[in-house]
Chains A and B, each alone.
Chain A
């Protein structure tokens, strides 16, 4: 985890494991004079669910884009299962699924056609059965052959999760999945996210909704002005006072 540096002579928290699922080391990203990320470092093990909170413009989405190899960092190294993202040739991308506030779905195609298309991109075996399974998992079987453009925001988000589940990735990134959802749709999404946690998947979720984030995560982080200002295991977090902790951390603004 994001432990403070070890001072001279002090011996503690030495971790001898070589390969974390996600190993982010001193990652920075600048757009011209603007620093979107500054020396972000953290490590995540198999089965971890990290919820990242932070105000708008904190660099959370940039971090996810770097972790999914959509954007190259200005400096620093990201390793997925011990392999540097810099050297990847598609093998790492096979194991990563991204749910964004944009659905990545084609409005003029049906859910079946969208999933069939993405399934082909990932070489998913037994495609028809897999489509039927994931679409059932998100509760959209009855709408399988309706054009996506007729879907509500909540249905789009569930279909987006079905798209991500198609290749059964071991890592999932969720970028503000609750954006624009009503209470009912949010509850459904929460149940789906709880199901995602089952197994050994490593998940990172960016959200503004502290309550929703805390109820599913194993680790929690607060990102402010491009830096991870706070990171802790959920067992060590005082849930009742976390909101106060969040506002204090964001308000300090000296990162």
Chain B
């Protein structure tokens, strides 16, 4: 229990700072909004069926705005060398990873919860009877994205060109999650039964578990000097 209290203290510290600065959330939200609006204007929805492209547009908005948030995540810990301060405390270093990862997950899910209704309006897609299954896909897909993303964010924080390096390192690894999430979202939006996406969801779930375990085991070595 003590371990989880410390994880939560790290999450709450990030939320507190974010409420004050709104740096991570505002950049993620504005970027995702821009992506949705630009795609909406660039595609003639009278000629193209929105269901053919909507799932791709949605996940482009999620993943690219997510990168912005992940880039800021450990930069915040770099300020005044706070990461070193955290490493000096007697906590298990994996708690730092889980705290940062949960913080990133919460920020991304809030951004997605606001972006999805805007997406529904812009692309004129009805999701009212599919909200739960869509939420399951989004939560699992986002979890996979931030699980690896937080690890790579910690790795790239000391690199000069981190804004470039993070997506270069991250996207090849999360391709299975993004493909599975896009396919599942597409199936849900076109009204296919939930059973049709079970295999995709299993793939995302396995990816999530594998990378959670890998990150738990490797984080201490990644942040060590």
- Is the CB–CB distance between B17 and A108 below 8 Å? yes
A96–B79 alpha-carbon span in the complex (Å): 22
Residues from 1 to 39 in B contacting A, C-beta threshold 8 Å: 2, 5-6, 9, 13, 16-17, 20-21
What are the residues of chain A within 8 A of B86 when measuring CB–CB?
A: 104, 121
Q: Are A117 and B9 in contact, CB atoms less than 8 angstroms apart?
A: yes
On chain B, the number of residues with a Cβ less than 8 Å from chain A's Cβ atoms is 25
Within 8 Å of chain A (Cβ to Cβ): is B87?
yes
Which of B72-119 touch A at CB < 8 Å?
Answer: 76, 79-82, 84-92
Contact indicator A120/B6 (Cβ below 8 Å): yes
Flag if B79 contacts A106 (CB, 8 Å).
yes
Q: Min CB distance, A122 to chain B, in Å?
A: 6
Known: A93-B90, A120-B6. A102 touches B84 (CB 8 A): yes
Range class of the A interface residue count:
20 to 34
Select one of B9, B82, B88, B89 contacting A105, CB under 8 A. Answer: B82
A interface majority secondary structure: loop
Is B88 a contact of A96 with CB atoms below 8 Å? yes
- Assess whether A113 is interfacial by the CB under 8 Å rule: yes
Whether B17 pairs with A109 at a CB distance below 8 angstroms is yes
Kindly state the separation between the CA atoms of A108 and B82 in the bound complex, as whole angstroms: 12
Does A4 sit within 8 A of B, measured CB to CB? no
Q: Given known contacts A91-B90, A102-B81, is B5 in contact with A120 (CB within 8 Å)?
A: yes
Contacting residues of chain B (152-187) with chain A, CB-CB under 8 angstroms: none
Pick from A93, A96, A121, A163: contact of B6, CB below 8 A: A121
New A-B contacts (12) at CB < 8 Å, excluding given A91-B90, A103-B81, A147-B20: A90-B92, A100-B84, A102-B81, A103-B80, A104-B80, A104-B85, A106-B82, A107-B80, A108-B20, A120-B5, A120-B9, A121-B90
Instruction: Mark A residues whose CB is within 8 Å of B.
Output: 65, 68, 70-72, 90-91, 93-94, 96, 98, 100, 102-109, 113, 117-118, 120-123, 147, 156, 163
